[in-house]
Structure 1
Amino acid sequence: MADDNQTPVFQIQRMYLKDLSLEQPNSPQILLEQSQPSVDIQLGLGAEAVADGIYEVAVTATVTTKVNDKVLFLVEAKQAGIFEIRNIPGEQLDQIIGIACPGIVYPYLRAIVSDVCTRAGFPPVMLAEVNFQAMYEAQRAQAAAQNGSGIITSAN
C-alpha cells in the first residue's frame, strides 16, 4: 500500500482582503477639474510561511491618479490567500508560491480595486492582466545576476 504522507498537496485554505485604503486628499475642489487624469499602478508580491506547509501569498496594488500633479485619488489594496502546500520539491514550491498562488489571488485584487474606484465616484480602474511566470523568471534572473555566481539563493 502506498504511503499517502508523501502525496503532493496544493489547496486554497482562505482568500481575504488584508488591507484597503482610499484617499481623496484634494476633494472636493479637484473634482471640478476637467483635465484628463494620469494613472500610475504599482504591484507588489509577498509570501511567507505561516506554519508547516501553510503559506500566505499577498498581492498589493497601489493606484495613484493625479490631475495636474495633484492627487485625485489613491487606492492601496492588499489581497491575500492562505495556501496549504506540502510534499512539493523546493524548485517547484518556489514556482507555485511565485506564479500559481499570485495568479489565483490577483483576480480578487482586480475586482476590489475596480469596485473601490467605482464606489468612490470614479470610473473603474481595470488592472491589466499580469504574467506572473514572466515576473518570476525576471526576478530569478536578477537574483542570479546580483550574486554573480549564476546560482540563485533564497532569502527565507
Structure 2
Amino acid sequence: MTEQQKPQFAIQRIYTRDVSFESPNAPAIFREEWKPQVKLDLNTRTRSLDEGVYEVLLIVTVEAKLGEQTAFLAEIHQAGIFTLSGFPEETRDQMLGAYCPSVLFPYAREAVDAAVTKGSFPALMLAPVNFDALYLQNKQKNESETTN
C-alpha cells in the first residue's frame, strides 16, 4: 500500500518580468485638473516549467485618462515560480488561477505605484482584488462557452 502524497506548496521565486510606463501627453497633461478616469485590467497566464513547477504571470494594466487624453498607461508583468504537488487537479487549478495571483498582486501593486509616482503623478494604490471570485467567474464563463 502506497502512502498518498501530501499536498505541498512553495514559492520558489517572485520577480518582475516587464515594466512599461507611458505618459504620451506630458508635460501638457500636468496643467489639467487631476480628476482621472482610471481603468484597471488584470490577466493571468500559467505555464508548466517542470513536473509540479509552474510559472504564474500576473499582468496588471492601468490607464488613467483626463477626458479623451491619456495621462498615463502603466503595465506590469509580475511573475512567480511556484511548486505545487499532491493536489487534486481542481484544487491545483484554483491555486494557480487564484491563490498564486493573489500572492503576486501586492508586488505588482507596488510596481504600478512606483512607476506612476516616478512619472510625476499622484500615488495610485490599487484596491485589493478578490482573485477567488475572478477565478470562479472565469471558470463559469468558460464552462458555459463549452456547453454552448
Match runs of 1:6-155 below 5 Å? 6-34=5-33, 36-148=35-147
Structure-2 separation of matches of 1:141 and 1:118: 37
Describe the SS at the equivalent of 1:16. strand
- Count of residue pairs brought into register by the alignment: 148
Work out the CA distance in 1 between the residues paired with 2:125 and 2:24.
Answer: 22
Q: For residue 8 of structure 1, report the CA deviation from its aligned partner.
A: 2.0
Name the CA shift for 1:58/1:4 in 2 (closer, same or farther; >3 Å).
farther
Displacement of 1:145 after TM fit? 0.9
Question: Is there any run of 5+ residues in structure 2 with no aligned partner, and where?
Answer: none
Q: TM-score, normalised by structure 1?
A: 0.87
Q: What's the TM-score, normalizing by structure 2?
A: 0.92
Q: Output the aligned Cα RMSD.
A: 1.8
Shift in Å, 1:35: 5.2
Letter of the 1:138 counterpart: Q
The whole-number CA distance in structure 2 between the counterparts of 1:112 and 1:70 is 23
Q: How far apart, in 2, do the equivalents of 1:7 and 1:68 lie?
A: 54
Instruction: Give me the whole-angstrom Cα distance separating, in 2, the residues matched to 1:57 and 1:136.
Output: 14
Unaligned stretches of 5+ residues in structure 1: 150-156
Q: Post-superposition shift, 1:4?
A: 7.7
Which protein, 1 or 2, shows the higher relative CO under an 8 Å CA cutoff with sep ≥ 6? Answer: 2
**Shift, 1:138, TM fit:** 0.9
Give the share of equivalent positions with the same residue, in percent: 37
